[in-house]
Chains A and B, each alone.
Chain A
Amino acid sequence: MRERIIGTECEYAPVYHGRTSTDAHQQKEADFLGTHENLAVALMKGVRSRIYPMVGEFLGNGGRLYVDRGGLPEYATPECRNIWDVVAYEMAGDRIVQELAEATWTEGASRKLHIYKNNVDYYQSTYGNHENYLITPQGMGRIERLIPFLVTRQIYAGAGKVMPSSDLKDITLQITQRADFFNSTYSDRTSEIRGIINTRKRELPRQGKNQRLHIIVGDSNMSQYAIALKTGITSLMIRLLEEDALGDGLVLEAPVKALKSISRRYDAPVDVSLLGKAASYSALEIQSIYLEKAQRFYATHGADPDESRLLALWADILEGLRQVKLSASGLEIEDDPADMKRKIDWVLKLWLVGRQRSKGARLRLLRAMDMKYHDLDPSTGLYEHCRSLGLVDQLIDEEAILLARHRPPQNTRARIRGLVIEQTHDKKKLDVQIENWEAIEIRTRPEKQQAIHFFNQMKHRIHALKIRMEDPLKADDPGMLKELERFVGAWG
């Protein structure tokens, strides 16, 4: 991929399930873990015991793990330069959080902490999965042209959501979890008023050349293919935007309405204006228009191997989705010759739910299945179980995911952050502050002040090393790394 940094952020849902215990000690513990704040505290306590070096909120793999508003644990991948890394580091986050949840369990306990990677609870509170892309100011200036793409990409990036039908007797299946929570085309907020385009300015001071595009209109995906398609194709489209190759001929008449309509029926026609003329297209047709544009652009501008692979994958997925036939109710898959359920979350969820529904399972059970699809626990999660049965396709090796839990990407500034964390996390004489994604300050810890005689204060002065990492694409800084080694050797 060309000179682009990509990363994702995921808010997980921790749920403490189980029966009331007759054991007083266990019940006391269960009561403590009954609040979200305490759950998050218990979860984070496990980080060091699971041998994940951490400084502040940053992990040794260069990513960030913290407790967000309302006690939701959130993991942000380190800065990645290719889609396969994005998939590996997002999956690594899933594994880390799941391991931490398992560490909270005590032998014989009647309740267990489960982590769900979804975007909506039973009471319709939502939590997000956000994407970040490095983008030029020129690309950002044309961002409105990306709207039809963002609205329609849900046909391969949606995670599926089971909802009650209007008479509450049956279910409906939406293809996204998040569509219902968007009420504006543009918004600078990430809660209450959510916009398809998030306009909050977050400058990336890379020689003043880049900005951060923050996309919040996406689902948390279990499928590796869905993560790769969502972030990879968006990245392809951003390049078209930056090079003014996207055009402004295709405009959705009502983007928010279209987002919701497509989520309810993936082949729903939506009103567009195409080259100034009113028309009606399905999401699949709109995506095909963009695919063709991208194919033409990359044929003349040279696609690197990653871009070529993504273009081919995009074409295959659209062709596969074109062949999917749903029943009139939309609750059964009548035909799926290209086996899209192996790659696309909503198709797999629909297949699982449809099978149980045809056997007589009703609303509450089917909604519980929806939630269980996203359980990261391999012994109770439906997606995880499909994976173990070989019913879904994987894009990257298990080894790459396990490695990504510890080792940062080697081609972005995350490498430098990871090295600092690796070298300093266990040094008791050093106080390391990772202020944000760009700055780290390491200070020697002061001795107890009262023990230092006035005449010895010079010997005990605080030494500090400031590390600036303004360019996210810069993975090496030999001078700085030498200085780090010297500083840690002298004072650590």
Chain B
Amino acid sequence: MAPSGQIQKSKTKAPKKKEQDEKEPEVLSKEKKQKLKELDEYIEGVLEEAGEDFLDQFKQVEGQ
């Protein structure tokens, strides 16, 4: 710990944003949008398939 008792922030720099992000914002944004759309549809599908009783069926015996 710092001798003064003060918190010293890590000297490591924050990771830079990917170069691709800066070069091709439009393409990436389109691709990203598509992925998010796909993800949303997937989540909707999974939860619909799991059904109303899903949570009630999620019952376990106490473990360690």
Contacts and interface: CB of A to CB of B under 8 A. Distances in A.
Interface of A: 11, 13, 15-17, 19, 36, 68-72, 116, 121-123, 125-128, 130, 190-191, 216, 247, 249-250, 274-275, 277, 279, 281, 285, 288-289, 291-293, 312, 315-316, 318-320, 322-323, 337-339, 352, 355-356, 359, 364-365, 367-369, 371-372, 380, 382, 385-386, 389-391
Given A122-B55, A368-B54, A368-B55, A285 B7 contact: yes
B47 A19 contact: no
Contacts of B8: 288, 292
B12 A125 contact: no
A377 B19 CA distance: 34
A337 B43 CA distance: 25
Interface residues of B, number: 36
Interface string B19-60: 000000000000000011011101100110111001111111
9 contacts: A36-B61, A70-B61, A121-B59, A127-B60, A249-B1, A291-B10, A352-B43, A364-B55, A372-B43
Contacts of B7: 281, 285, 288-289
Contact of A123 (B12, B46, B59): B59
Nearest to B2: A292
B41 to A, nearest CB: 11
A359 B40 CA distance: 10
B61 to A, nearest CB: 3
B51 A19 contact: yes
B1 A274 contact: yes
B14 A371 contact: no
A325 to B, nearest CB: 13
Interface of B: 1-2, 5, 7-15, 17, 35-36, 38-40, 42-43, 46-47, 49-51, 54-64
Contacts of A191: 62-64
B13 to A, nearest CB: 7
Contacts of A123: 58-60
B17 A337 contact: yes
Contacts of B13: 319
Given A216-B64, A365-B47, A289 B42 contact: no
B12 A389 contact: no
Contacts of B14: 319-320, 323, 337-338
A71 B61 contact: yes
A222 B27 CA distance: 30
Contacts of A274: 1, 5
A122 B56 contact: yes
B55 A367 contact: yes
Given A122-B55, A389-B38, A369 B63 contact: no
B40 A355 contact: yes
A369 B44 CA distance: 10
Given A122-B56, A127-B64, A315 B12 contact: yes
A68 B64 contact: yes
B37 to A, nearest CB: 11
Contacts of B5: 274-275, 277, 279
B39 A386 contact: yes
Given A288-B8, A323-B14, A368-B54, A382 B43 contact: yes
